[in-house]
Amino acid sequence: MKKRSRLSMLVIILCAIFLAGNVQAKTLKISHVRPQDTAIDKDLRWFSEALNEASGGKVKTKIYPASALGDYTVVQERVGLGAVDMACQPPASAADKRFQVVYFPYMVKSWAQAKKNYSSGAPLRKVVGDLYAEQGIQLLAAWPVYFGGIALNREPVSPGDPAAAKGIKLRVPPMKTFQLLADNTGYLGTPIPFSDAFTAVQTGVVDGVVGSGAEGYYASFRDVTKYYIPQNTHFEVWYLIINKEYFDEMADDQKKTLQDVANQFEQRRWESAEADQAANEKRLADFGATIVPLTEAQIASIAAKIHETVWPEVLKDVGEDWGKGVLDSIVE
């Protein structure tokens, strides 16, 4: 009887070890929103290869580009549920309105200030990590993308004057932040899902788009972009995320390896992002778009109006006390 009991216990232990090994050995799916061979796709390929090497082949990943696993809101929900393992993408304010705080317009002014506020250890980073944790998601790293601008299919009107009525219809993401940004800088904002935005510009439903930057406009809108205004509307950052339950159950050495490689992934991007933004503006110009630069004084004038008119309204949307606390933590 004792032998049978010991044998049963041994079988249970071996099964547990086997199952644990299988959990660790599975190939993790990573979703992102851009086509193959774009900057994020190349960086995730580097991440995947570096992680495979650093873990001795114990942590493998497979990349799914171009929203193949669903749009970023759906993917964020699926990462929280464990149906998708990982993603590198924008935070979805449709899943939690407080994620709008990441995209407060004119919250940071320069790449140096952006790095101070969006990097690991910054108060804003902790805020974002806490929001993800509430959805069962572990934040691993940031991937800074660009300062945003406006892409138009027609000639701009007084782009540096936020008080001028422009008579230009802009597609805005279905997010209060961008709707108010357009409306308070003289444009006519029209919320349209990203999947319909290109056709909306192409058919004249709107005259242009806001909510992205040169990288996004070149990737998705270059055929309908005749003018690009680098207005520094907001700072765009995407996050490398993983299902929290899976992360918590990883072996300690694999968890450390994953985080170490994620840190390298982020650092590499901070070193290249600003130059990448300039390169994408040049790509737009080479493709035929006219770049319409604004002066620092014009951008400061737009920012001042946005701080006065847009911030109070968005704060109401995310929770005034909570939102003010986040804004007060921004490092100059």
pLDDT tens digits, one per residue of 128-162: 999 999 999 999 999 999 999 999 999 999 999 99
What confidence score (pLDDT) does residue 11 get?
45
DSSP-derived secondary structure letter, 103: G
CA–CA distance, 273 with 143 (Å, rounded to integer): 9
Q: Name the one residue in this structure whose structure tokens are 């994953």.
A: 258
Regions of the chain where pLDDT drops below 50 = 2-3, 10-24
Residues of each domain in the chain carrying CATH 3.40.190.170: 2-96+110-144+237-274, 149-234+280-328
Query: Which pair of tokens denotes residue 14?
Result: 């071996």
Q: Are 232 and 110 in contact (CB under 8 A)?
A: no
Q: What is the pLDDT of residues 14-72, one digit of tens each?
A: 444 444 444 446 899 999 999 999 999 999 999 999 999 999 999 999 999 999 999 99
What confidence score (pLDDT) does residue 5 get?
54
pTM, rounded to two decimals: 0.90
Q: Environment class of residue 313 by beta-carbon count within 10 Å: exposed (0-12), middle (13-18) or buried (19+)? A: middle
Query: What CATH number should be reported for the domain whose range is 2-96+110-144+237-274?
Result: 3.40.190.170
The domain over range 149-234+280-328 is classified in CATH as 3.40.190.170: yes
CA–CA distance, 283 with 293 (Å, rounded to integer): 15
Q: Which residues are CB-contacts of 32 (< 8 A; sequence separation ≥ 6)?
A: 40, 41, 44, 63, 64, 65, 67, 87, 88, 89, 238
Q: What share of the chain is helix, strand, coil (3-state, %, to 5)?
A: 55, 15, 30
What confidence score (pLDDT) does residue 6 get?
56
Q: Where are the alpha helices (DSSP H) in 37-187?
A: 39-54, 72-81, 111-118, 123-133, 176-183
